[in-house]
Chain A
Amino acid sequence: MKNVTLNKALFLKINEIIKKYESDKHNLLAILLETQDLIPKHYIPIEAAAFIGDKLNIPISRVYDVISFYSALNDKPKAQHVIKLCKSTTCRVNRYQTVRDVLEKELGIKMGQTTPDGKFALEYSACFGACDISPAFRIDTEVYGNLTEKKIKEIINKYKEV
């Protein structure tokens, strides 16, 4: 997958975020999260990581320590929509495996893979607090639960259309 080279406008926007957080290195996590939201395919390109490290006066290794530690931060581009299927305890007793099978069949990919058009990626996730509607997955920030085969297909089709 080709990396997005950062254009000037994007750097300016990142700079604004850094300024909003008073160029304070204590706010690294918040700055990285907001930066990632700006970038298509939800990741932090190396140029952006270097830029942020520079502005906050911290080594880039420290920036990467944080990016690699937290599951919400990515150093590589993701798909347009990442489907995160919970496989923690509640979803285990409610058989997330059936959801996985439907998803894999619908999208023609296995867990951990991305569709050739870069539209969907499938991954596992730890519990995201939707256990009352388990089995559940997240697509980007949207949570879907009480999943049945029919419902999963409808959801996927909705995302395919846009």
Chain B
Amino acid sequence: MKKTVSLISKNFKKIHPESLKEYLKAGGYDGLKNALPLTSLEVITAVKKSGIKGRGGAAYPTGLKWEQAAAIPGPRKIVICNADEGEPGTFKDRYLLEYDPFKIIEGMTIAAYAVGANEGYIYIREEYKKLQNRMRKIIDIAIQNGFLGNNILGTNFKFNIKVFSGAGAYVCGENSTLIESMEGKSGRPRIKPPYIKERGLFNLPTLVNNVETFSIIPVIFTIGPEEYAKYGTPNSRGTKLISIAGNIKKPGTYEIPFGITLNEIVFDIGGGIRNNKKLKFLQIGGASGSIVPASMTHIRYCYEDFKEHNITMGSGAILVADETIKVVDFLKSVQDFFLHESCGKCTPCREGNRQLSKIFNRFVKGNASIEDFKTIERFGKVMKYCSFCGLGQSATTALLSAIKHFPDEFYTHIDKVHKTI
């Protein structure tokens, strides 16, 4: 099997990202041209046939999501592209925004056509300010050339996109929180129902998909859903953009077919570990993802294998840590992140993260007690099951998986206490 592919990433560093001419020459907008003559139902059926699942982390089948969005009645509907990429270790959406922005808006346009929406927003994190400007620029170009606006490609389909800037809050990556912030509020998640698909932005029916999900759509309508679905495994169709970083020789964003092993990703694609060190563990899917020890890298990168081993794919990040990294030090950086990003709405997450951080300081300093060890596990579980939103629920994924795979590393820090007392 070929280890990397170039479907979504075909244009990366190959064309000038702000040139519509080059985008068209590379086959850009063929997807939209093929989709517009179809009925909404036919478009949705094709997306279903491709088998793709949302790439934002929740892995909800995209075709199904669109079908539900299309079925909701209403004269005014919204399509939002979630470009609030904030999971530490993740930068694959940045590559799309940076190197192939037209593809994102082409995908959004097809989505809008399928679900019957005329208004679109792309919510880009504040940290990508320069890319916000790039996006504004290419939206203008698309309007001038009839790819956005009132009569798209000479049809009477109308669709506009506005760029919205985030303001530095990880929690806004959660869809309902993102919408709260677009309504001029602080970013705290909403209680569901009502679901966003029924009452989202300004209480209007809203479809939210991730940048990568939208970028796959033009590919599906160019090469056909069957062809795209040939990549991957039975339950994980197609290709995936992953971000590899950390103690690795060739960090970067790569497109892989689902189903290659973590080993292949780290050693064949990423070039192996830097400075002749040994691999110790990976963190899969960002700060909210599990710790996977080196002994488990035979696992394939796909939903099936991940589910079997209780790993979530999350944002597509693969963070590589070598043998010199201490697990508790690493977990402290995870903990500090969540402490900083917790929105404070619910108690388990707000207080849990605070207490865990305090305890972690003791572990890092080497003066933790056995009670501390029991407490972190207990708190970790309470947070996992009782937090209001995904942030709190997944804040201790790394911790709990680390306790499972590296219990000794915790004990050594506890041992020190006994020796010094």
Contacts and interface: CB of A to CB of B under 8 A. Distances in A.
B90 A88 contact: no
A94 B321 CA distance: 9
Interface in A119-139: 126-134, 138
Contact of A29 (B89, B184, B333): B184
B130 interface: yes
B168 A89 contact: no
Interface residues of A, number: 34
Interface string B146-178: 000000000000000000111111100000000
A45 to B, nearest CB: 18
Contacts, number: 128
B86 interface: yes
B89 A90 contact: yes
Interface stretch (A63-71, A100-108, A154-162): A63-71
A131 B245 contact: yes
Contacts of A68: 186
Contact of A89 (B183, B251, B287): B287
Interface in B62-95: 85-91, 93-94
Contact of A33 (B85, B126, B169): B126
B30 interface: no
A48 to B, nearest CB: 16
Contacts of B330: 89, 92-93
Contacts of A128: 127
B91 A69 contact: no
Contacts of A26: 182-184, 202
A71 B319 contact: no
Contact of A90 (B125, B167, B319): B319
A28 interface: yes
Contacts of A78: none
A71 B245 contact: no
Given A89-B88, A127-B88, A132 B321 contact: no
B247 A66 contact: no
B169 to A, nearest CB: 5
B164 A70 contact: no
A30 interface: yes
A88 B337 contact: yes
A131 B169 contact: no
B80 to A, nearest CB: 14
B186 A130 contact: no
A30 B165 contact: yes
A126 B167 CA distance: 13
A129 B127 contact: yes
A126 B341 contact: yes
Chain B: interface secondary structure? mixed
Interface in A1-57: 25-30, 32-33
A153 B94 CA distance: 27
Contact of B333 (A65, A89, A130): A89
Which range holds the interface residue count of chain B? 35 or more
B397 interface: no
A130 B247 CA distance: 14
Contacts of B182: 26, 29
B128 interface: yes
Given A26-B184, A70-B187, A89-B283, A134 B167 contact: no
B184 A66 contact: yes
B167 A129 contact: no
Nearest to B181: A29
B418 interface: no
A86 to B, nearest CB: 8
B253 interface: yes
Contacts of B356: none
A33 B169 CA distance: 14
Nearest to A27: B184
Contacts of B343: 69
B243 interface: yes
Contacts of B366: none
Contacts of B334: 89
B246 A93 contact: yes
Nearest to B321: A93
A72 to B, nearest CB: 4
A65 B186 contact: yes
Interface string B336-364: 11001101000000000000000000000
Given A89-B330, A131-B89, A138 B287 contact: no
Contact of A131 (B88, B93, B337): B88
29 contacts: A25-B184, A26-B184, A28-B185, A69-B187, A69-B343, A70-B181, A71-B167, A71-B168, A72-B166, A72-B167, A72-B168, A88-B337, A89-B88, A89-B246, A89-B337, A90-B89, A90-B245, A92-B330, A94-B247, A126-B340, A126-B341, A127-B337, A129-B85, A129-B93, A129-B125, A131-B88, A131-B319, A132-B91, A141-B129
Given A28-B184, A89-B337, A129-B128, 16 more contacts: A26-B202, A28-B185, A70-B168, A70-B186, A71-B168, A89-B319, A90-B88, A126-B168, A126-B170, A127-B337, A129-B127, A131-B88, A131-B245, A132-B243, A132-B253, A141-B130
Give the 9 A-B residue pairs with the shortest CB-CB distance, closest first.
Answer: A28-B184, A70-B167, A71-B168, A69-B186, A72-B168, A88-B88, A127-B88, A128-B127, A92-B333
